[in-house]
Structures are given as structure tokens and as C-alpha cells.
A and B are shown apart, each in its own frame.
Chain A
Amino acid sequence: MGLVDQVEIGNPTQPHCATVLLLDISGSMAGEKIALLNEALKSFKEETLKDDLARKRMDLAVITFGGSVQLRQDFCSIEDFEPPVLSAGGGTPLGEAILKAAVILEERKRQYKHQGIDYYRPWIFLLTDGAPTDMEPGDITWNQVAACVNEGETGKKFLFFAVAVEPADTRTLAQIAPQSRPPVKLIGTKFAKMFDWLSKSQAKVSASKIGENVALENPVAAGWAEVSS
């Protein structure tokens, strides 16, 4: 038996990339949109499972907002991820949802540190088709959310991606999204293509060195988004 068969690895834990999907399931998402989103979540799992490193390193959580904010899936590997069957209804408590995402990410990072797990900069991936119903530009929640996203980006706590689904008000969304990464607009209902991009992007991050800047494929070039006007 060679030496390679005898040794074991001291710190075999894969570095983690925590990702929070922040999904709008308010009343306006009902019908075709929510059905396609549910399908896209299933194929997202299948596509990500195909990538060896993303399979080991992605740590996924799902928060939905529609009427109320719910942690539908706490952090888990993509293997353990059970794509939820979402149904739409209620208002759009976007502000509360973003703040919750930031809170669970900080808690997850604290756990990583405690367990000696290295980690990539986490992602918040927001998908919304409406204007927030729990805040208005300039009010307390709004300022809190804008500061949270802004500080999260500039302080390198997380990467914030915002995707507007018709008929979302991209101008309002642009005021919350980080200036360095303005929101993009989903073309029609190309949820499947969007999640395919997300899966490929996570594969790229998983193959990178921690701290390294990863060049992601432009969502517009990838064919699922257009730049919001």
C-alpha cells in the first residue's frame, strides 16, 4: 500500500459558498410565473449536482416573501436541497426579506468560523416582480435595507444580485441594489435560463481560490436578462 493510501487529510471540509435565494411569491407571481419558477428550481438542483465542486461547496438557503417572509429552506448542500413547490399570494415584504437574508448569512459565517470551515463571499440572489409593500423610499425600513445592502457589498460581506421580473419597478429596485451591480431585468419568463446561469456561476466560484475575483458570464450575454432602463 502506497503512502497516498495511508495518509488522511487533516482538514477535508470543503470551503463553502453560502447562497441565499430570495424569491418573490407575492400574489402577482401567481399563474405561469410561479409554475415556471418551481420548474426552474428543480432543474437548478439537477444542473448544480453535475458540477463536482459546486456540489461539494455550495451551501443553499431559500427565503420566500409573499404575504410573509419565510425561511423555506435552511442552509444545506445542493444534494440535500428539496426544491419547494411554491404558491403565490399576498403582498411583497421585500425589505424584511433582505434583512433576514443578511442575518442568516452572518449567522452561517459565524458557524463556519466556529467549525474551521473556509468560505467564499456569500451570495444573495433576489428575484422580484413587484414593488415592496413593507417600505417606501426614504422611510426607516428603506434606509435600513439600503444601508444593509450597501454595507454588505462594500464591506465584502456578500454579493447582492437583483433580478426584476415583469412588471417589477426596476427603478425602485436600482435604489436598493448596490451601485456596482445594478439590477437586471429578466427577459419574459426565462427562469430556467437564469438558474442555469446561476448554477454555472456557482461552479466558477467553487473552482476559484478564496479571495480571488471571479469573472462571471454577463447575464445579458447569457441570454436571460436585459439591462434595466
Chain B
Amino acid sequence: MTAQKANGAVRSRVFGSSVIGPMHLHNEIPCQDACAYAATAANVIVIAVADGLGSAARSDTGANLAVTSALRFCMASLQSGSFEEGVPERIVRSAAAHARQELERLTQEESYNLRDLGCTLIVAVATGQQFAIAHIGDGAVVGKIDGALCLLSSPGESEYTNEVVPITSADWQNSLRVTSGESSVCGIAVFTDGCQRAAFRKAEDSLVPFERFFNPVFDYAHNATDATAGASEIAALLASAKLCEHSDDDKTLVVGVIETD
């Protein structure tokens, strides 16, 4: 999706894909990752990404509902056009709460248990001047600020175990991590754990965004003219042997760029 101001001063662009991993393909399980994204007319980028838990029976449904409801909430909230301090942070926090409510609502409409819909969720909002992220579970957000890569939201404590607190957990609010900042974000990438080995290098115990992964991705996004083609290019990357060699999990990557002429 592309938004352009009439005077052409600011342009934003966002696209991405969720791709089924070799393991789920082999076991005939649906893709449990989901993503939803948009750029507003005012060049604000909104990205929602979710990774359904392997242990949850209908986590594909949960992940899809979580991202679509979070995106819809953000887009409606952003219509007012107000970006006073703290507004993006309130929006992403409320979007996560709204996604949780929608999952609860679905359990009432259909005969699902809430835990069957278990998934992680990342909701990110970025303008040229500020960003805010609400994050529960693993996956991560990497930004490009003043030409440098920054880990804006990390995978959390659960990196080395298989235990992830999903948004369907009773304790979800305590596990929700909200990050915000006033920086000129020119690129933002939101992804699930299936991309983590590609996206980070390890330095002792910390994760460092890997330049030779992100720079080509952001460069591509800056030069892309067609969001549909961009989404296909990301899908091809995620389905490639190069990435699948390092993770047979489902993979999601959504990338947004904001350009100021």
C-alpha cells in the first residue's frame, strides 16, 4: 500500500507476507502466521503481525482475527489525525486490547476455547516523527532510524524456550510490552520468530539486527513502486531455501518505509 501527499513531500509504503513453513506444509497444517498492514492518507504506517501457537488447535483463525481487528482499530483511531505525544502509544495498546476482545467475542459466537485461538501479536504504528509498538510473545520489530538499524521491540524473555505467553493468556496484560519513541523512523520491519535466525546475529547473549539482511530489504522497499509486487517479493524470500534452511516454521515479514523529500 502506498500513500502520497498532494505536495509529494512525504511518501510511505508498506507491504509484506505470511508464508507457510516446510514443517506445516509437510504435516498438512495451515499457516499459523498472519499479517495485516496499511498506510494512511497522512503517511502513517500501521502493521499487525501474529504467530499462532503450534499447540493451539485454531491458532490460524486466532492469528488472522488478531491482526485484522488490530489493524482496523488503529486505522479508525488514526482518522482523527492527532499525533500529540503519547497518542500512538495509546492507540497500539488499545489495539492489542481490542484484538483480545475480538478473540473473546469469537469464542462466544463459535464454540472455541480462547486458548485454541492462542497467538502472539505485534502492533506497530510509525509516522515520520514517532513510533509505538505493542508486543506480546516472540517475533520482533527492527527500525531504521537516522540510517542505523535499531531493535525497537525484542522477542522477549522466551527466546530459548518454547514457552510464549499468547494474547489469549489470562495474564496477557502483564506480558504486553509497549515501546514508543520520538524518532524519525525511515524504515520499520515487523516479523515472526521464523525469521529471527536470518534477521539477527548473536553477540554473546544479545541480538543485533543484521545489516546484510535488513539493508537489502529496506533498500528494496524504498525503491519499490508496486506494493503487490513487493508483497510477492517478500513471500518469495520467506519461502526460499535460504531462509527455510534455518527455520522450518511459518514466516512473516512486513516492511514499511517513510520517505521525506
**Which residues of A line the B interface, CB within 8 A?**
2-4, 6-12, 114, 116, 209, 211
Contact = CB atoms under 8 A, between A and B. Distances in A.
Interface of B: 161-162, 197-204, 208-210, 212-213, 216-217, 220, 233-234, 236-237, 240, 242-243, 246, 248
A9 B246 contact: yes
Contacts of B220: 3, 6
Given A3-B216, A4-B240, A11 B233 contact: no
Contact of A211 (B161, B200, B234, B236): B161
Contact of B197 (A2, A3, A11, A209): A11
Contact of B198 (A10, A114, A116, A211): A10
A211 B199 CA distance: 22
Given A3-B236, A3-B237, A10 B199 contact: yes
Nearest to A116: B202
19 contacts: A2-B233, A2-B237, A3-B217, A7-B213, A7-B217, A7-B237, A8-B210, A8-B212, A8-B213, A10-B197, A10-B198, A10-B208, A10-B212, A11-B197, A11-B198, A11-B201, A11-B210, A11-B246, A116-B201
A6 B240 CA distance: 12
Contacts of A3: 216-217, 220, 233-234, 236-237
A11 to B, nearest CB: 5
B133 to A, nearest CB: 20
A85 to B, nearest CB: 35
A9 B203 contact: no
Contacts of B246: 9, 11-12
Given A11-B197, A11-B201, A116-B203, A6 B216 contact: yes
A9 B204 CA distance: 17
